[in-house]
Amino acid sequence: MREITIQDGNIEEGYIHGREGRIWYRIAGRDRTKLPMLCVHGGPGCPHDYLKPLELLSDDRPVIFYDQLGCGNSEKPDRPELWTIDYFADEINEVRSALELDEFFYFGQSWGTMVGAYYLLNRTQKGVRAAVFGGPVMRARSLADDCAVLVSKLPPEHREAIQKAEESGDYSSAAFAAAVTEFDRRHMCRLEDWLQYVIDGDRKTGWQVYNTMWGPSEFICSGNLKTFDLMPRLSEINIPVLFTCGEYDECTPATVSDYHMAVKNSKMAVLADASHMHHVEKPREYKELVSLWLGQFEKK
């Protein structure tokens, strides 16, 4: 069931009453005529806020955001057993049904690419005209390996803090926090000052979801996604896919190229002097890139 709480011009907000709780959504450009784009955030558990630059695409199509259950503006049940990729793949179907998305474009960022590709391979590709995967992760081990290489290039005090935390399992030290901050400055978002909407989203992270599925450290996957690996099946994705990453992305261009090569109907774009949040760092360039890509598949 769909509960509308705000309708103001071309903006609509509300809740989808899913089987496990209320899922918050927002539609920008709700009256636009081109095929809608459904945007799925990263994390797991990092809400939609940092995807705000994608609203630039709402000048000619509805752009739909939602916070997955457990984070952001959605309900946050205390149920760690619920946080599985199968639940979140089913949640996409709940969103599709409530918002009547028979045909749409899929956009996923980071974790949003994981659940999106899983959805395409294990639920359906029907009605998904094309997809954009930003900062993609198709294999958890690949991200951990990329992070290990990038961490090795940090200053010695940061490398040591990360090694100590991983060996002890204690991630609460100020030294580890400082190391994460430096890593993020290089490979997550290279803007000197993080924008307020990025900060706001970070404050609303669903840590139970993140810790259950990924683990307490970005650098090692110890949660239930640790064996996640779609590489053997990527050739089964038949819809067009655009893979994007930043030059300094934690999802490195070399790894993203492997994903691109595995999906026969795909394209890859690397944004210069950008990192994991390249849509935040280069919003206009990213808007043009995605708009041109989707435009090829607007009509059958």
DSSP structure class, residue 19:
S
pTM for this prediction: 0.97
Tokens of residue 30, six digits: 């709700």
Report the alpha-carbon distance of residue 194 to residue 196 in Å, rounded.
6
pLDDT tens-place string over residues 91-125: 999 999 999 999 999 999 999 999 999 999 999 99
Examine the residue annotation and report whether 110 is marked as an active-site residue of this protein. Answer: yes
pLDDT tens-place string over residues 164-216: 999 999 999 999 999 999 999 999 999 998 889 898 888 999 999 999 999 99
pLDDT mean across residues, the chain: 97
pLDDT tens-place string over residues 47-87: 999 999 999 999 999 999 999 999 999 999 999 999 999 99
Examine the residue annotation and report whether 170 is marked as an active-site residue of this protein. Answer: no
Question: Strand 2-8 vs strand 22-28: parallel, antiparallel, or unpaired?
Answer: unpaired
DSSP structure class, residue 242:
E
Which residue out of 110, 142, 266, 275 is catalytically annotated? 110
Which residue out of 249, 260, 266, 279 is catalytically annotated? 249
Examine the residue annotation and report whether 276 is marked as an active-site residue of this protein. Answer: yes
